[in-house]
Chains A and B, each alone.
Chain A
Amino acid sequence: MDQNLHLWLIPLLPLLGALINGALGRRFSRQAVATVALASTAAAFGMALMVAASFSGLAHVPYVESHGPWIQITGFTVNFTFLLDQLSLVMLLVVTGVGFLIHIYSVGYMADDDGYYRFFAYLNLFMFFMLMLVLANNYLLMFVGWEGVGLASYLLIGFYFLKDSASQAGKKAFIVNRIGDFAFLLGMFMMTKYFGTLDYTSIFSQVLSNPAQFPVETGGAGLLTLIAFCLMIGATGKSAQIPLYVWLPDAMEGPTPVSALIHAATMVTAGIYMVARSNVIFNHAPMALTTVAVIGALTAIFAASIGIVQTDIKRVLAYSTISQLGYMFMACGVAAYSAAIFHLMTHAFFKALLFLSAGSVIHALGGEQDMRHMGGLRKYIPWTFGVMAVGTIAIAGIPPFAGFFSKDEILWKAFSSSSNGWIFWAIGLVTALMTSFYMFRLLFMTFFGERREAANAHDAHASAHGGHSDHGHGTPHESPWVMLTPLVLLAILSTVGGWVGIPHSMGGNNHFEKFLEPVFVHEGGQETEIEGTATWTNKLPPTKETTGEPAEAAHANTSTELLLTGISVAAGLIGLALAWFLYVSRPELPARIAHNLGNLYTTVLNKYYVDEIYQEAVVDPIVEGSTDILWRGVDVGIVDGAVNGAGTSAQAAFGTLRKMQSGNIRSYAGWVALGAALVVGYMVWMGIQ
């Protein structure tokens, strides 16, 4: 008999916090609001830790916990059922852990904000939905969390609702996500129709146990390929991949802790989680899998290129997030799911750290976000500088920091995935170089050189940042301990977080990948532990058996792997050196380069004009077409025109006949009666015949 883990409590606790603060927060003191919010998140985190502690003792993994039906009709049921396996445990710990740290940070960051209770209510609401997402045991319940985090994101992006740009960005995020959700829904309809259920375990075991019915669809697009494509489009919305990434940069309108929690560490990784969760389906749909890899690789390099020229500190990080999500997408696409989740986790640490440090910088400068107006801050806010440097080194892929291991694993898995894998590897490598460059550019522009205070900076940003305007003037000040503590903890995690996945080539044991194996490795329809050390063969679908690599080949692979590792570390260092050269040694150079690049620079600076193209090609035609053609043309003109025309002409004919006054109900009633008599007469005659 399994012990009862009471998983349902984990999402419910933050929901309770959200409800209490939402209903009563207005009357609470700030301290009470913070206590409720932090206590509920801390409790969820505590429960997650307890669950993790008892995980190894569970008799059955996946552990399933059911709480009655949510939708129940003949032939189809969806239950409120939670599932805990290795994958959801990792997600659970990341979400509650990072979430809790960001809650702490927010207490300091939002201290002077008017909407204090509203902020924490929304933040807790987000936690609830995110935990539903990762704990669900079926796609529909996952979709509850999926759309729910979208709602929380909508509310928090538009948190400063007096600003038009904020409410605009919130709406954009929701609608763009809905485009992805549209596809997600279609995928669920397909699964409902052909599997009769939306439960993960049931669908996956149906697929795995009937290889004749569900072959690996190498020949063409079959059912599983279609489902996989639908899920993939859903994931491109939530995880901000091409072509649906456009909402994420705008989402930076939200308060910085929100950017850290929702738009970097957790919510945006939901798409990655969903693809990884659906690995059985994707493994049977090579075409979809390749598309995932291509989208991921393109997004990674595309977003990184935009990140290079941005000057808003949060926007750089936003494009960096899109780019890193592209990395994870690419990893999923080469079926290196555990590498994707590994990077998801380390990214959650260092990107949350980077965003929160950026928040600390913004806080120190009274709302300033433009890096051109920063510089030299190292002296004023040394702690922030220190932790942000850790985050930058981690994301740049420099050993032994967390990002190095996860990024390196993705690159290696991409390289060894197939004969064409080197293309993904090459794109990933270039992206790594760009990442290192723009991140060190950010670090140097912000903390090195001379301070470049903008004359009008405070006016421009004070209103944008509400409460912080009051300490905008004077010397930048270090953030309070309540903000620094989470930063330091995240910095530690960003340093050591990658050590759980040290690859065999470096003498490690890759515990992380081993731990996740039961979720990602399936053989002959049954989940079994894979033996042997050639872990990079996991990605192959069940039909392509690749056990027992010859020892020499394995050895050759190890040396290739180490060589590639060396190259990627070099790429990170080159990025660092380049950034140092351009932004510390020769700070006058970037402007000249930009000038010489001319149109190319402007195009990238303007984000390739994608937003403008979408506006002109999609949004405007819909709004104008609906106004001029559908509403004024078809509806008022044709449809209603015909109705009124029929009415008027009938009335005129009738009026001349009986000289009755127009417009009064009686004349219409008479007309109706006449028509009725005729029709009834006809029908009766028909009936008699």
Chain B
Amino acid sequence: MNYFDKIALTVITFLPAAAALALMFFPRGTAQTDSHGHTHYASDKPIKWVVLGVSILAFILSLHLPAHFDYAQSGFQPRFNTNVEWIASPNIHYHLGVDGISMWLVVLTTFLVPLSILIQWDSVHGRVKEFMVLILLLETAMIGVFLALDMFLFYVFWEATLIPMALLIGIYGHERRIYAAVKFFLYTMLASVFMLGSIIWLYLKVGSFDYAAIQNALSAGQIPGIATAAPWLFLGFFIAFAVKVPLFPFHTWLPDAHVEAPTAGSVLLAGVLLKMGTYGLMRFNVALFPEQARINAPWIITLAIIGIIYGALVALVQPNLKKLIAYSSVSHLGFVVLGIFSFTVAGADGAVYQMLNHGVSTGALFMLAGMLYDRRHTYEIKQFGGLATPMPVYTMLFLVITLSSIGLPLTNGFVGEFLILSGAFQAKAIYAILATTGVIWSAGYMLWLYQRTFFGEIKLAINRNLPDVTQRERLALFPLVVLALIMGLFSPYWMKAIDPSSMRIVEAAQAPKVHATVHPEDSSLKLVSNRNSENTNRK
């Protein structure tokens, strides 16, 4: 066993924060004010390079996890387990661990950060150092959320993501940035308080914040008062995560936050932060409270399906490019929640895969939107039109990402959507029938967007000579475009880690401990034996 294994998670998590700390002492150098009144420092350029280097290093280090992952192990990987006492009383541990689900979310995070830095390279207007510090702090917090196995630690990382993101929106955003930042901060902060309540209740009963200890206590059913408290605990976690996802009707902070956020902020917000919500639903709501998850699944799935259809229909009529993508995220994340609460292997695997896919495709979409903003300083779709003529390469890249977003086979989106919907169908046909309409709506809003943006004659003279994708933008975009295709072709590579871990979570939710009978909907993938009974039902 390699020595690095033991410290790998800590290094990956805190490397960005350490770099941020070091950056604070980095001298600014001489100041210069440009024509727009923004102040630039001599240190801006070296800082950007250093931060890019650090984030790439973090990515490379994070690849250590898939490279040394034990695929026979469905739970948290013992070899990467890091557990030391942090505070004796209350009993808080510094406990990090990784399984097949969190591993790929960590890699997604470290993958997106350098790309988002690259795409924002020239469009941080003033206070470059602070911008980079915030991005790095955000990265540490995001990775921490996925790795923390102590609930207190989890909560600290969870809340820690809020501050840099709110500041990124509030300082570096567009016109209504303060409103958006406040709304984002307030909404998600308020929601996470409910989670804190749940965590504290559990601590008081179990005497530990440790995830595994709490899970064991819960599954053993020995906690006094758990029967009455469980619905509330479940709800406490659920509210925090549902707002973050965001699940309909808790989604209205998202369009505002996205429209105002700088490109890098949007990429990380859509690419990673939203996944914290769906990850939480899986890790806490389903894995800790399988019984409650089962009881509450019908209305949660209802919200998810409303989100899929509603998000898509509202996206269809958005005049603003970023708002359109934001609402499409509501729709896509609805798929993920549907998959999680279908309690089928296909649904859960698809949900995790779709989290990664959404990070790739929506991350790329926000980059593409940002590139247009850099050129035209607007997100209004009617300001464009006919861009295929001046920007052919951009048009092509946008097409691939569009296809990934609408789930065309051989792109990543298809694998995720198919598994989710197939799982949903196994759970209950009507779920899949309603949710599958999403494939029609998504084609509608994306292709209409594509048509209005790229096709036809150029309507505004200002668009006639827009520069096509630059070398730097290519560097930022190509990895995502290529990955969207590779993940569509070679899904088993990712799935071999995801499948055992999500299966573990699903199995707990599938096998009821209290009720003796198994509902046919819950039982298994292959229901050939149940076919006849199903058939007579239908007749």
Contact indicator B439/A222 (Cβ below 8 Å): no
Asked if B535 is at the interface (CB within 8 A of a chain A CB), the reply is yes
> CB-CB < 8 A to A76: which residues of B?
345-346, 422, 525
> CB-CB < 8 A to A226: which residues of B?
538
> CB-CB < 8 A to B410: which residues of A?
144, 148
From B190, B317, B346, B496, give the contact of A626 (CB < 8 A).
Answer: B317
Interface members, chain B 237-289 (any A CB < 8 Å): 249, 251-253
> CB-CB < 8 A to B310: which residues of A?
630, 634
* The stretch of B18-26, B42-50, B65-73, B430-438 that contacts the partner chain: B430-438
Q: Contacts A72-B492, A144-B409, A175-B447: A631 and B193 contacting too (C-beta < 8 A)? A: no
Beta-carbon contacts of A639-661 to B below 8 Å, as 1s and 0s? 11001100100000000000000
Asked if A213 is at the interface (CB within 8 A of a chain B CB), the reply is yes
A668 and B205 CA atoms in complex are apart in Å by: 32
From A147, A175, A189, A688, give the contact of B425 (CB < 8 A).
Answer: A189
A213 and B534 CA atoms in complex are apart in Å by: 12
Distance in Å: Cβ of B343 to nearest Cβ of chain A: 14
Contact indicator B201/A665 (Cβ below 8 Å): no
> CB-CB < 8 A to A643: which residues of B?
183, 187, 252-253
Contact indicator B409/A158 (Cβ below 8 Å): no
> CB-CB < 8 A to B186: which residues of A?
647, 668, 671-672
Beta-carbon contacts of B140-167 to A below 8 Å, as 1s and 0s? 0000000000000000000000000010
Asked if B229 is at the interface (CB within 8 A of a chain A CB), the reply is yes
Interface members, chain B 115-137 (any A CB < 8 Å): none
> CB-CB < 8 A to B11: which residues of A?
none
Distance in Å: Cβ of B167 to nearest Cβ of chain A: 9
Contact indicator B252/A640 (Cβ below 8 Å): yes
* The stretch of A336-344, A347-355, A679-687 that contacts the partner chain: A679-687
Contact indicator A162/B457 (Cβ below 8 Å): yes
Contact indicator B193/A672 (Cβ below 8 Å): yes
Asked if B448 is at the interface (CB within 8 A of a chain A CB), the reply is yes
Contact indicator A631/B528 (Cβ below 8 Å): no
Contact indicator B204/A687 (Cβ below 8 Å): yes
A161 and B399 CA atoms in complex are apart in Å by: 14
A166 and B456 CA atoms in complex are apart in Å by: 9
Q: Which residue of A lies closest to B193 (CB)?
A: A676
Distance in Å: Cβ of B389 to nearest Cβ of chain A: 8
A294 and B107 CA atoms in complex are apart in Å by: 54
Contact indicator A623/B197 (Cβ below 8 Å): no
> CB-CB < 8 A to A154: which residues of B?
447
Per the CB 8 Å criterion, the residue count for chain A at the interface is 81
Beta-carbon contacts of A40-80 to B below 8 Å, as 1s and 0s? 00000000000000000000000000001111111110000
Distance in Å: Cβ of A284 to nearest Cβ of chain B: 12
Contact indicator A174/B443 (Cβ below 8 Å): yes
Q: Contacts A71-B415, A73-B346: A622 and B408 contacting too (C-beta < 8 A)? A: no
Q: Contacts A179-B440, A213-B532, A689-B225: A665 and B182 contacting too (C-beta < 8 A)? A: yes
Asked if A190 is at the interface (CB within 8 A of a chain B CB), the reply is yes
From B189, B196, B252, give the contact of A639 (CB < 8 A).
Answer: B252
> CB-CB < 8 A to B318: which residues of A?
631
> CB-CB < 8 A to B359: which residues of A?
none
Contact indicator B422/A188 (Cβ below 8 Å): yes
Asked if B338 is at the interface (CB within 8 A of a chain A CB), the reply is no
Contact indicator A175/B426 (Cβ below 8 Å): no
> CB-CB < 8 A to B415: which residues of A?
71
Q: Contacts A162-B457, A689-B225: A73 and B419 contacting too (C-beta < 8 A)? A: yes
A625 and B346 CA atoms in complex are apart in Å by: 34
Contact indicator A223/B531 (Cβ below 8 Å): yes
Beta-carbon contacts of A662-675 to B below 8 Å, as 1s and 0s? 01010011011001
Distance in Å: Cβ of A179 to nearest Cβ of chain B: 6
Beta-carbon contacts of B431-465 to A below 8 Å, as 1s and 0s? 01100110110011001100100111100000000
Asked if A186 is at the interface (CB within 8 A of a chain B CB), the reply is yes
Asked if A604 is at the interface (CB within 8 A of a chain B CB), the reply is no
Asked if B54 is at the interface (CB within 8 A of a chain A CB), the reply is no
Distance in Å: Cβ of B404 to nearest Cβ of chain A: 12
From A181, A644, A680, give the contact of B196 (CB < 8 A).
Answer: A680
Q: Which residue of B lies closest to A683 (CB)?
A: B197
> CB-CB < 8 A to B194: which residues of A?
679
Distance in Å: Cβ of B430 to nearest Cβ of chain A: 11
Q: Contacts A144-B409, A194-B528, A680-B197: A185 and B190 contacting too (C-beta < 8 A)? A: no
Most-contacted residue by chain A among B166, B253, B526, B539 (CB, 10 A) = B526
Q: Which residue of A lies closest to B499 (CB)?
A: A73
Contact indicator A75/B525 (Cβ below 8 Å): yes
Contact indicator B314/A626 (Cβ below 8 Å): yes
Q: Contacts A75-B526, A151-B403, A182-B439: A683 and B313 contacting too (C-beta < 8 A)? A: no
Q: Contacts A148-B409, A164-B456, A222-B539: A71 and B425 contacting too (C-beta < 8 A)? A: no
A679 and B235 CA atoms in complex are apart in Å by: 13
Asked if B218 is at the interface (CB within 8 A of a chain A CB), the reply is no
A146 and B193 CA atoms in complex are apart in Å by: 48
From B418, B500, B528, give the contact of A195 (CB < 8 A).
Answer: B528
Most-contacted residue by chain B among A213, A219, A687 (CB, 10 A) = A687
> CB-CB < 8 A to B447: which residues of A?
154, 171, 174-175
A190 and B534 CA atoms in complex are apart in Å by: 12
Q: Which residue of B lies closest to A80 (CB)?
A: B489
Asked if B527 is at the interface (CB within 8 A of a chain A CB), the reply is yes
A70 and B422 CA atoms in complex are apart in Å by: 16
Asked if B178 is at the interface (CB within 8 A of a chain A CB), the reply is yes
Contact indicator A186/B425 (Cβ below 8 Å): yes
> CB-CB < 8 A to B252: which residues of A?
635, 639-640, 643
Asked if B386 is at the interface (CB within 8 A of a chain A CB), the reply is yes
Asked if A220 is at the interface (CB within 8 A of a chain B CB), the reply is yes
Distance in Å: Cβ of A438 to nearest Cβ of chain B: 33
> CB-CB < 8 A to A181: which residues of B?
439
Asked if A627 is at the interface (CB within 8 A of a chain B CB), the reply is yes
> CB-CB < 8 A to B538: which residues of A?
221-223, 226
Asked if A168 is at the interface (CB within 8 A of a chain B CB), the reply is yes
Interface members, chain A 145-202 (any B CB < 8 Å): 146-148, 151, 154, 158, 161-164, 166-168, 171, 174-175, 178-179, 181-182, 185-186, 188-190, 192-196
> CB-CB < 8 A to B251: which residues of A?
639
Q: Contacts A222-B538, A680-B200: A675 and B503 contacting too (C-beta < 8 A)? A: no
Contact indicator A686/B345 (Cβ below 8 Å): no
Contact indicator A175/B440 (Cβ below 8 Å): yes
A-binding residues in B (CB < 8 A): 166, 170, 178, 181-183, 185-187, 189-190, 193-194, 196-198, 200-201, 204-205, 225, 229, 232, 236, 249, 251-253, 310, 313-314, 316-318, 345-346, 349, 386, 388-389, 403, 408-410, 415, 418-419, 421-422, 425-426, 429, 432-433, 436-437, 439-440, 443-444, 447-448, 451, 454-457, 489, 491-492, 495-496, 499-500, 503, 524-528, 531-532, 534-535, 538-539
Closest 6 CB pairs of A and B: A683-B197, A189-B425, A167-B455, A75-B525, A196-B526, A640-B252
12 residue pairs from A and B, CB less than 8 Å apart: A68-B492, A70-B492, A71-B419, A75-B525, A162-B386, A171-B447, A174-B443, A626-B317, A631-B317, A668-B182, A669-B185, A680-B193
> Told that A162-B455, A174-B447, A189-B436 touch, could you supply 8 new A-B pairs with CB distance under 8 A?
A71-B415, A73-B499, A630-B310, A639-B249, A682-B197, A683-B201, A684-B200, A687-B200
